[in-house]
Amino acid sequence: MLLQGVRILDLTYYIAGPVGTQVLADLGAETIKVEGPFASTRTRVDETPENGGSRPRVVVAYTGFNFLNRNKRSVVLNLASDEGKEVFRDLVRISDLIVENYSLRVMRNFGFEYPALREINPGIIVISMPGYGREGPYREYASWGETIESTAGLTQMTGYEDGPPLRSAIYMPDPFSGMYAAMAAMVCLNQRSKTGQGQHVTVSHLESASQLSGEVVLDYAMNGRNGRRMGSHNKYRAPHGVYPCAGDDEWVAIDVGGEEEWDAFRAALGDPDWAREPRFADVLARHANQDALDQHIADWTRRREKSEVAATLQGVGVAAGAVQNAGDLVEDPHLNERGYFWRYAENLDGHPKVAFPGGRATYEGAPTNVLRRSAAFGEDNAYVLGGLLGYSDGQIDRLRELEVTLDILPKF
């Protein structure tokens, strides 16, 4: 494993932070998720209405948690207690990296800001992921993917020209922040191998997401223009959009570039008379008449299956892709042939062969399958406290009595 021998203390929750530590855990780093005795229940339950809504169903294999925390161990520590702080200091002494995505006040209140951690272990690397960074007027603001998405300018660009801004259906900024954090960790580990010195890195959720607004920011800086919403259209290419196909809620995405691609696209459609009309003669004309163009294309696509349309157009050099739902993705022959989906060896809550999205890159000689499902709450308390730190059974029992550590997820 590429990061074998690296030990990470994972103080992350929800999505952005866990994505970063997931990348490192998948590469072989021993990643110990440090969970609070009570706060962790928020991320370990399924709160969807189908599962009770106001009375969440606690599940070890809750899909969101399991996806983000595979290949990680779990130790429960109350860092608000003096005893919990001392245990954490012992863990810092034997670790390489700490990743946390709390708001600024949390590590400060614990007494574990970077200068204090560096005194414990001069070589420790700390990756902090506050939503808005450590400076600036927003630094104490609460941060969530859907609000960061708007503050970063992404929502303003999304939607139809005659409609309001729309947020994405996912917490899009979160994985970007996580990937930046993983990259920063690798850079710091490389630096430490040469200098022996640790490092403190701040990864701002807002700044990571704002990278995606680079083109419109430059357009405003150079031309004074604010980008406008265009739905599925593109300001440089036409046709460019998502078109209905045969079946219920079935679609295909099509992107046609220059004239050579347009000629190939027109031929694939059977060279219909409408495609030779002057209003579609070149990309500028097609761009000016996109609504009429889209209607003609939709008349052709809605009589065909989405994968058939995509394959036909790809066969003549035109970019196209079926709009796949979750079921399509799991059954996708290309992803499955490449071994993208990882399946745990053991059943998860009675669900055998659960498929989880796999790695983000393929490393020659590295394992391609997940090694370990996400740990149950406190599952590795004995390993971490007894095995790594050498605490006696009596010491561990004392920590349980004080509720510094727990082995069972507390009830609501």
Q: CA 63, CA 325: separation in Å to the nearest integer? A: 17
Report which of 141, 160, 159 is spatially closest to residue 151, judged by C-alpha positions: 141
Residue 335 lies in a domain: no
Overall number of domains in the chain:
2
Q: CA 59, CA 327: separation in Å to the nearest integer? A: 23
- Classify 315 as helix, strand or coil: helix
288: domain CATH number is 3.30.1540.10
Residue 137 lies in a domain: yes
- The answer on 387 and 304 residing in a single domain is no
For position 57, what pLDDT does the model report? 42
For position 295, what pLDDT does the model report? 97
- The answer on 145 and 207 residing in a single domain is yes
Q: Could you tell me if 41 and 150 are in contact, meaning their C-beta atoms sit under 8 angstroms apart?
A: no
- The answer on 86 and 172 residing in a single domain is yes
Residue 222 lies in a domain: no
pLDDT in tens, 158-216: 888 889 998 888 888 898 899 999 999 999 999 999 999 999 999 999 999 998 888 88
- The answer on 191 and 52 residing in a single domain is yes
For position 59, what pLDDT does the model report? 45
Which amino acid is residue 219, in one-letter code?
D
pTM for the model? 0.88
- The answer on 139 and 63 residing in a single domain is yes
- The answer on 358 and 264 residing in a single domain is no
CB contact set of 184 (below 8 Å; sequence gap of 6+): 127, 201, 203
- Classify 182 as helix, strand or coil: helix
- The answer on 350 and 291 residing in a single domain is no
Q: Could you tell me if 247 and 325 are in contact, meaning their C-beta atoms sit under 8 angstroms apart?
A: no
Q: Could you tell me if 396 and 382 are in contact, meaning their C-beta atoms sit under 8 angstroms apart?
A: yes
Q: CA 252, CA 310: separation in Å to the nearest integer? A: 7
What count of Cα atoms within 13 Å lies in the side-chain half-sphere of residue 213?
A: 24
**Average pLDDT of adjacent 10-residue blocks, the chain of 412 residues:** 92 92 94 83 59 46 74 94 97 98 92 97 97 91 87 89 87 90 97 95 94 86 88 92 97 95 97 96 95 97 98 97 94 91 65 70 69 85 97 96 87 56
Q: Could you tell me if 153 and 116 are in contact, meaning their C-beta atoms sit under 8 angstroms apart?
A: no
For position 348, what pLDDT does the model report? 55
- The answer on 139 and 207 residing in a single domain is yes
Residue 246 lies in a domain: no
For position 61, what pLDDT does the model report? 46
Residue 148 lies in a domain: yes
- The answer on 64 and 190 residing in a single domain is yes
Tokens of 127: 């990756």
Helical H runs in 121-165?
Answer: 145-151, 154-157
CB contact set of 399 (below 8 Å; sequence gap of 6+): 83, 87, 385, 391, 405
Residues 206-244: b if buried by 16+ CB within 10 A, e if exposed: bbbbbebbeebeeeeeeeeeeeebbbbbbeebbbbbbbb
- Which structural domain, as residue segments, surrounds residue 272? 251-322
- The answer on 163 and 63 residing in a single domain is yes
Q: Is the dihedral of CA 82, 84, 85, 86 positive or negative?
A: positive
Tokens of 124: 């420790």
Residue 115 lies in a domain: yes
Q: Could you tell me if 18 and 100 are in contact, meaning their C-beta atoms sit under 8 angstroms apart?
A: no
For position 235, what pLDDT does the model report? 87
Report which of 236, 251, 255, 232 is spatially closest to residue 319, judged by C-alpha positions: 255
For position 203, what pLDDT does the model report? 96
Q: Could you tell me if 104 and 95 are in contact, meaning their C-beta atoms sit under 8 angstroms apart?
A: no
Residue 306 lies in a domain: yes
Residue 59 is classified by DSSP as: -
- The answer on 106 and 167 residing in a single domain is yes
195: domain CATH number is 3.40.50.10540
- The answer on 205 and 79 residing in a single domain is yes
Long-range contacts of 1-4 (CB under 8 A, 24+ apart): 1/27, 1/28, 1/366, 1/367, 2/27, 2/28, 2/363, 2/366, 3/27, 3/28, 3/29, 4/28, 4/29
Residue 238 lies in a domain: no
